[in-house]
Structure 1
Amino acid sequence: MFLLPGTHSKQIRRMAPGSSVPVLDHDGEIVQGSAEILDYLERHFPEKSLTGDDANSKADALAWQQRLDDEAGPAIRTWAYHYLLQRPKQVAPMLTAQTSVYNRYLLRLGFSRVDEVMRDWMKINQKTADKAQQTLDSLLEELDAVYQTSGYLVGGGFTLADLTAASLLAPLFMPEKYPVPWPDTRRLPTPMKDWIAQKQPKLARVAEIYRQYR
């Protein structure tokens, strides 16, 4: 289920304690949050485990997952929305993907208010966007170094560490067959467009993993 940003809180709170997404409903059991959902799936479907073959691999995979959730997730959200909200025609289809025509109309009508609410709610401004970009610069350098060495973040195979990296970093390499329409990169704000182009070599392996394991 896709929900319009800024109006999703009430709908989510009917399902779960908080207002954050994603939310999993599995046989009536509600699990909220990416990390919590992955942990739930690991416990209920151990035959399809993504945490590695031994205790050390599991600890490393979980550590990467937590770090990426804590660092990459907020940084990408802050940085991307700071620039995308400057291009209403580019970001509107993303924000209303797979919602009703009425929702799309509402967003166009009240975009300035949506912009204001999202920036206030997520503390998005030039200063926080610059800090987020610095975080991403450092993180992408580290990820690329690990991938260049072993091909995967943990051990010699695909784990939830790679899954987390590929899913969170997807807005930076914009894979095909994504459930949300990507913006036209030619019409992005210049600082965003140039930085994304510059970082593609560092994203090559994680983009390959996304395509391979999607």
Structure 2
Amino acid sequence: MTRQQKTATFLISITEWGNKKIVGDKITFSVREFLSDKRIYNEIPIQVDLTNIDDASYTKEVSPGGGGGPKYEEYVFHGYGSKTKVLAPSSPMDFPVEGIDFTGIGYVDGMLHIQTSVVNNLTKDNHGYFFLKDKSGKNVQCIYNVSFSENIDSDNRVHYDEFVFDIPKSEISKYSLYGTFVTSGMYTKGNWQVTFRLEEK
């Protein structure tokens, strides 16, 4: 997206299937909305003193809206209507990524939970993940992550992501916290359409 010229360029990839030849045919491409001004924060250090992380003072039960990780089904997904324990969101803390709020960190049932949130993420798609790095430089991924939302039917829908690491408090001082995140700075709505003939390159 070029802000000065108010133009956007899209790359369209089309693959022929079977023996059907599509060269010479017409195609119509339309766009109603898109995100642009993407920013990537790749493997950035998160300035949190992990040696001072305590047990979480407040937690809550939520219905997960998604998630993943090698132990997601073991700890989170137990069928329709299942609940999982997460951090009760706090006021946003210092965080190096604009557009993502850092809303919680603490131990829950002996495991480290780290939480972020984004307001109205349907018009941003801001996302990312955390990982730990030990003193030798080896990366340690979370054992599972879970997402949930609040105020779903309002204009202030909040999307949360929580990442869980199976590292006891007695060992956490050996690690540092890092993250990789992607944000977009511009959401554009409209009604654009173009029809063109396919040509062979």
More helix by share: 1
- State the structure with bigger RCO (CA 8 A, min sep 6), 1 or 2: 2
More strand by share: 2
Q: Which has the larger radius of gyration?
A: 2
TM-score, scaled to structure 1: 0.22
